Amino acid sequence: MTDTRPLFRFCACCPAPCRSVLGTADELQHESRTPSSLSLIALAVIDGQLPWDGASRAALVRTEAAHACARACPYGHDVAATIDAF
């Protein structure tokens, strides 16, 4: 299995230029649904800081905004696909 932590750390600390594609749609503007926030949640689960339970699973399936951001990532990362595989 590939170690996804470096990608999640990179995304979590990125200033998120990809978010410009989201526009102002309320359902995509929730901070907890952005690639950087999803990366932080995934890292917390991987590192044992959050349990892998219903709440963390529910957070990590809300990847609509992250999928939209993937096409605008200037670094070519697709965090949403990595989270889907997680």
pLDDT of residue 47: 95
Q: Per residue in 15-32, pLDDT tens?
A: 888 888 887 766 666 788
Q: Give pTM, 2 decimals.
A: 0.87
Average pLDDT on 36-62 reads: 95
d(CA 63, CA 84) in angstroms, rounded, equals 8
pLDDT bin (cut points 50, 70, 90) of residue 83 is very high
d(CA 3, CA 23) in angstroms, rounded, equals 32
d(CA 62, CA 80) in angstroms, rounded, equals 9
